[in-house]
Amino acid sequence: MGGSRPQALTTGYKPRVGPAHTLFSVIYTTIPNRRPSVKDIVGYVKKFIYFYFGRCPCILDIIGYIRSMKEKILNTDHAWKIVGGLSKPGKMPGWSIGIPAKECNTGGKLQDKEGSVCNDCYALKGCYVFKVVQDAQYRRLKAIKDPRWVDAMTMLINSKKPDIFRWHDSGDVQDLEHLQKIYAVCRLTPTRMHWMPTKEAWVKKYLKFKPDNLTIRLSSPMVNQGPISSWPNTSTVVTTKATCPAPEQGGQCLDCRKCWNPKIKNISYGKH
């Protein structure tokens, strides 16, 4: 479910941007390749009203959604303000979006655990602790609840080069609503490859709904711990024999795209 339709959206596809079109696109790209019955359509509409809001929507959700339909996102500057801006990590060849590492759910619990990959988290030191960076990350976190967020993110990612995007150079997926919105953005940016590292094991339950152009890697929680075997794609942190080539390339990805490649089962990173 959610695998075959997006492949038909080939290079050059430029989706219309609008909240109503977002919901339609999510439904369209998830219906199987057959003529749906009326029962199918009713079921999918119910499911993806749930999908878009992340839960059964209350009246305030619906009012907010209807209002957002009336407000057209005019340009990328407008979209940038809605989402709180993107981030551009120096190592990465493309763009990302960072939210506060202090607000990680699983990672927040690991930050005080000695020997965990989060105990010495890079996103809790260096430039990441500057007030201007923290303020921007909290703006982005708050913006996720904006009903225009999916459409604004779609416009920004489709406007950027190169054709790759990393979810969360800082922070992690917050909840089911956040994950579902990420899925919607990925479906609406079919010419882009997305990568999302996470420590949230509950995401596995929803991998079957994942768009084909999104690779989600579960990160093992402890340094030198092996990959989690029950996940199709993973990442680990090691003190020796890392497979990430960045340290030998001046700390840059350059032309490496292993993290975005679902055929690469595990990526091991050298401990920072």
Who contacts 200 (Cβ-Cβ below 8 Å, separation ≥6)?
Answer: 105, 106, 172, 173
**Residue 33 pLDDT exceeds 90:** no
Residue scoring higher pLDDT (19 or 143): 143
Q: List, in sequence order, every residue forming a beta bridge with 215; answer none if it has no partner.
A: 195
Q: List phi, psi (to 5°) of 160.
A: -100, 155
pLDDT at 90: 86
Q: Indicate if the alpha-carbon torsion angle 206, 3, 79, 68 is positive or negative.
A: negative
Q: Indicate if the alpha-carbon torsion angle 172, 173, 175, 177 is positive or negative.
A: positive
CA distance 175 to 259: 23
Span 31-41, average pLDDT: 58
Q: Which residues of 210-226 are buried (b: 16+ CB within 10 A; e: fewer)?
A: bbbbbbbbbbbbbbeee
pLDDT at 47: 54
CA distance 138 to 39: 42
Residue scoring higher pLDDT (51 or 202): 202
Residue 145: HSE in the Cβ half-sphere, 13 Å Cα cutoff: 7
**Residue 13 pLDDT exceeds 50:** no
Span 129-137, average pLDDT: 94
**Residue 245 pLDDT exceeds 80:** yes
pLDDT tens for each residue of 38-77: 766 666 565 555 545 444 445 555 555 555 555 566 689 9
Residue 11: HSE in the Cβ half-sphere, 13 Å Cα cutoff: 2
- C-beta of residue 211 within 8 angstroms of C-beta of residue 186: yes
Residue scoring higher pLDDT (185 or 13): 185
Span 229-256, average pLDDT: 96
Tokens of 26: 């999510």
Model confidence at 26, in pLDDT bands (50, 70, 90)?
very low
